[in-house]
Amino acid sequence: MIKFNEVYFKYKNGPAVMESFSVDFPPGIITILGPNGSGKTTLLKLAAGMLTPQRGSVEIMGKPPAHLRGKVAYIPQSGGLYPWMKIQDNIALPLRIRGLPPEEIDRVVKKVAESLGISHLLKRYPKEISGGEQQKALVARALASGAEIWLLDEPLSMIDIDYRREIIDILKKIGKTTLVITHNVQDAIDLEGYIYIVRGPPLKIIDVYPPGRYKDADELIQKVREYFK
Ligand SMILES: Nc1ncnc2c1ncn2[C@@H]1O[C@H](COP(=O)(O)OP(=O)(O)OP(=O)(O)O)[C@@H](O)[C@H]1O
Ligand SMILES: [Mg+2]
């Protein structure tokens, strides 16, 4: 589904984050757990086509990421909303690009905003809402876009407990192929998908747990600690 073939990637002024990295992520929800600086965001940016490997290739559904614009929703670790646009216009953007009629856009924006509890924020600008609310607006935009593939970089890190559950349920319900980076072991368990444990740089997958392998956060935390020692 999302495939890396012997990828080499190095930042100009930084480490070789991937040396010969290969993986074939299955469809469904995949959670990635790994230490700071290991290369998780880089992995997501390569999958989103925002970075290009110096060697090797990345394929999503058999195509290079650049061929899938509009089908891939990328939610960055920070930022991501256009500061000069109101929240409603930020959410509407992918639909405007697709040329949907204004009434239809309005309907979808209202619907997704309601499902995430941000209807009252639609007329504000990004700097006028909190960090967690910004994350919800980003999820709303991805939801409105109807993307086939979701790439989420710590989307839940600033979301309170109630909406965390809500967003996790939304991700499970939409049932698309979704890569989620998180530092929260409980979220990884609640997402009920595959869990990939990584370390780096260079990025390496050190273990993969199938859905349902861990149901208890303490047990998984213990396991992950052993790996990162
Ligand atoms: N633009 C850049 N230029 C140079 N080096 C970079 C750049 N971005 C990231 N790096 C380095 O590449 C490595 C991987 O970074 P990356 O952001 O992918 O880590 P991460 O796993 O997402 O970490 P975190 O959990 O802290 O978000 C780190 O060592 C980082 O310092
Ligand atoms: Mg990161």
Q: Is 38 in the pocket of ligand 1 (CB under 6 A)?
A: yes
Return the percentage of the chain with pLDDT > 90, whole number. 74
Q: How far apart are CA 110 and CA 107, in angstroms?
A: 5
The rounded Å distance from CA 44 to ligand 2 centre is 9
Is the CB of residue 202 below 6 angstroms from any atom belonging to ligand 1?
Answer: no
29 three-class SS: strand
Least distant ligand from the CA of 9: 1
Per-residue pLDDT tens digits for 146-187: 899 999 998 888 788 888 888 898 899 888 999 999 999 999
CA of 140 to the centre of ligand 1 (A): 26
pLDDT averaged over the chain?
93
Q: Which domains does the chain show, CATH number per domain?
A: 1-71+149-229 (3.40.50.300), 80-147 (no CATH)
- Residue 229 scores a pLDDT above 80: no
pLDDT at 175: 86
Determine the 3-state secondary structure of 77 from DSSP. Answer: coil
Note the pLDDT tens digit of each residue in 9-27.
999 999 999 999 999 999 9
How confident is residue 70, by pLDDT bands cut at 50, 70 and 90?
confident
pTM of the model: 0.93
Q: What is the pLDDT of residues 31-42, one digit of tens each?
A: 999 999 999 999
Tokens of 65: 């990421």
Contacts of 103 (CB under 8 A, 6+ apart): none
